[in-house]
Chains A and B, each alone.
Chain A
């Protein structure tokens, strides 16, 4: 009984903040600022959604976020899948395989703020600041260790016999990778792709530094810009924040089965 009561409390704490954000996005300003807060009895409005997406360039931000997330995912999947396959299947002389795997994993531990200054200078030098390309390059670099590790563990779980059979039948190693291993790893690739999309969609710090113009900003950066020192456009940012959350929640629910494995870099067998 006590367990159920505790559970109910935990569920309430989990859900209430999300509900509160969503509810505020449908309130008129007068109800948002009401003291005591209005719980149920307010007339819902779409005013803030209109303001966010017609009066403000949130649609541009959302498009940037989507384009950047997709490009990042495609590029890191191509390179990361190849690297993951190589580390899962090939032998390397001496300790190299272990050393390389280890090094790739350790780059995942780098704090972004530490590398952002040189990256900023680098992109500035090539005149790439405030472009989507710069953000894609930075995100790809940070996503690659993750994708490589996910794919390495998927390929390690696949039996190598099928590829060997194909090679005995005259296929090349590369052909066996393309025609046998890749199709078999499809569920793993799909899960990794969605994770990569989520990481890129949610990222804030790198985008904040690399994009400062309205045309190039991502959604998180655009939303944060509406929180100013003196006024915060509560209705608008609630609407944008709530909308930015929905696709991710749906995505994440789809890959729920793979969540554990993905988040722990494939190190924990879920």
Chain B
């Protein structure tokens, strides 16, 4: 309060052009304005556009006039088996991948925090997967999963197990995507958990030691509650990213085989740019937008992140 008042005060006392003084007085708005305008463009324009498009049937042929269909596009979502499959796949992928990443990341961080503190350079190596461009990650795994000459099938052979089609097998395709995602993003959770562990206070642990609490009790009653905010943020960011999975499926499976790995992002992409069904794509997008922004809003408010 004092800060801004003194700011305006000096501005009024200073000699100078009228425009300069006006700008100085409205600085709090002027400095924020470009960002707000750009973000409004990013959010409001697309939302309004999609609201109108979602109520229309838009033909791929631009010379065919748009046809008002009311809530037809939304009704179609209820009976679209491919969409339901995409939703199911997205939910399965997100829950399994994020759970695995969380457990592995937390486990690794605890291991490092307790046993391997001195070997700092190892941490750096562990962070490499999340730095590589996602497209390179996808290509790397495509190479490893190759059914004919891939190194994974060579491993299977050495272990005396039958070769698999991996990303080409309906039953295995989702698992291959999840494995690649876990490889790419476990380091992210690992890093956040390490930071959380580094900021733990030591007094409660000393007290717990005096009371003779077991390592498990200390972990459960002290570490986890202290880490809670970091865990919440890590999960929020990973869930948001997992829900929009695109790169990995686009390169590894293109949603196949038989839709086994089709995600919401990929399905919207197909509807909009392959089938050129803009109205329907807009309707799905709106629902996805509503659900994800609603979810993250609730989460951010709960965490009081914006304070």
Is B302 close to A, CB under 8 A?
no
**Quick one: given A11-B125, A37-B154, A113-B246, are A107 and B43 in contact (CB under 8 Å)?**
yes
Q: Roughly how many angstroms separate A220 CA and B34 CA in the complex, as a whole number?
A: 30
**Known: A164-B3, A260-B192. Is A83-B36 also a contact (CB below 8 A)?**
yes
How large, as a class, is the contact surface on chain B?
Answer: 35 or more
Complex CA distance for A11 and B123, rounded to whole angstroms = 10
Note all chain B residues with C-beta closer than 8 A to A241: 133, 135-136, 139-140
Q: Which chain B positions have C-beta within 8 A of A182?
A: none
Least CB distance, B235 to chain A, in whole angstroms: 11
Assess A17 versus B183: contact at CB under 8 Å? Given A107-B43, A111-B289.
yes
Answer whether A86 and B28 are a contact pair too, CB < 8 Å, given A204-B246, A264-B234: yes
Partner of A201, one of B24, B50, B133, B272: B133
Contact: B23 with A105, CB < 8 Å? no
Shortest CB-to-CB span from A250 to chain B, Å, is: 9
Chain B, residues 1-19, CB within 8 Å of chain A (1/0): the string is: 1011011101100100000
Chain B 131-142 per-residue mask, 1 if CB under 8 angstroms from chain A, else 0: 111111001111
Is B71 among interface residues, defined by CB-CB distance under 8 A? Answer: no
- With an 8 A cutoff between CB atoms, is B115 at the interface? yes
CA distance A19 to B50 in the complex (A): 44
Given A140-B38, A267-B305, CB of A171 within 8 Å of CB of B43:
no
**Chain A residues whose C-beta falls within 8 Å of the C-beta of B136 in the assembled complex:** 21, 223, 241-242, 244-245
Contact between A167 and B6 (Cβ–Cβ < 8 Å)? yes
Contact: B126 with A14, CB < 8 Å? yes
The CA-CA distance from A123 to B80 in the complex, in Å, is 30
In the complex, A104 has a CB within 8 A of chain B: yes
* A263→B243 contact, CB < 8 A: no
Chain A residues within an 8 Å CB radius of B188: 263
Interface membership of A94, Cβ < 8 A: no
The 8 Å CB contact of B140, one of A18, A36, A83, A248, is A18
- Distance A204 CA – B45 CA, assembled complex (angstroms): 23
> Given the complex of chains A and B, what is the CA–CA distance between A98 and B306 in angstroms?
6
Closest to A244 in B: B133
Q: B133: which A residues are within 8 A, CB to CB?
A: 201-202, 204, 219-220, 241, 244-245, 248
| Contacting pair B289 A110 (CB below 8 A) | yes
**B268 contact set on A, CB distance < 8 A:** 113-114, 117
CB distance from B62 to the nearest CB of A (A): 10
Main secondary structure of the interface of B (DSSP, over half): helix
| B288: chain A residues within 8 A (beta carbon) | 111, 113-114
CB distance from B24 to the nearest CB of A (A): 5
Which residues of A lie under 8 Å from residue B243 when comparing CB positions?
111
Q: How far is the CA of A213 from the CA of B39 in the complex (A)?
A: 28
A198 part of interface (Cβ distance < 8 Å)? yes
Q: Which of the segments B93-101, B169-177, B213-221, B293-301 contacts the partner chain? A: B293-301
- For window 102-150 of A, CB contacts with B under 8 Å fall at 102-107, 109-122, 140-142, 144-145, 148
B168 lies within 8 A of chain A by Cβ: no
Please, how many angstroms separate the alpha-carbon atoms of A241 and B243 in the complex? 25
B118 to nearest A CB, angstroms? 12
Q: Closest CB of chain B to A187's CB: distance in Å?
A: 17
B35 is an interface residue with CB less than 8 A from chain A: yes
- Chain B residues with CB under 8 A of A197: none
Is there contact, CB below 8 Å, between B265 and A256?
no
With A and B bound together, what is the CA distance between A14 and B126 in angstroms? Answer: 6
A100 lies within 8 A of chain B by Cβ: yes
Contact B28 A90 (CB under 8 A): yes
Comparing A27-35, A41-49, A52-60, the segment that makes contact with chain B is A27-35
Contact of A20 with B144 at beta-carbon distance under 8 Å, contacts A79-B38, A145-B39 already known: yes
- CB pair B237–A21 under 8 Å, yes or no, is no
Q: Is B307 an interface residue (CB 8 A)?
A: yes
Interface residues of B in 229-257 (CB under 8 A from A): 229-230, 233-234, 237, 240, 243-244, 246-247, 250-251
Known: A32-B149, A86-B32. A118 touches B300 (CB 8 A): no
Q: Does A237 contact B (CB under 8 A)?
A: yes
Interface residues of B in 107-156 (CB under 8 A from A): 108, 111, 115-116, 122, 124-129, 131-136, 139-144, 148-151, 154
Q: Chain B residue with minimal CB distance to A166?
A: B10
Are A107's CB and B292's CB within 8 A? no
Assuming A7-B111, A20-B140, A172-B10, is B272 touching A117 (CB within 8 A)?
yes
15 contacts between A and B (CB under 8 A): A17-B129, A86-B32, A92-B28, A101-B306, A113-B244, A113-B264, A141-B39, A177-B31, A204-B250, A220-B135, A232-B142, A238-B143, A245-B131, A249-B128, A256-B124
A binding-site residues for B, Cβ under 8 Å: 3-4, 6-7, 10-11, 13-15, 17-18, 20-21, 24, 32-37, 79-80, 82-83, 85-87, 89-92, 98, 100-107, 109-122, 140-142, 144-145, 148, 160, 163-164, 167-168, 170-174, 176-177, 198, 201-202, 204-205, 208-209, 219-220, 223-224, 227, 232, 234, 237-238, 241-242, 244-245, 248-249, 251-253, 256, 259-260, 263-265, 267-270
Q: Which 8 A-B pairs have the closest CB atoms?
A: A118-B46, A83-B35, A102-B306, A90-B28, A109-B296, A241-B136, A173-B7, A141-B42
4 new A-B contacts at CB < 8 Å, known A18-B132, A83-B32, A114-B268: A106-B293, A114-B288, A172-B14, A241-B136
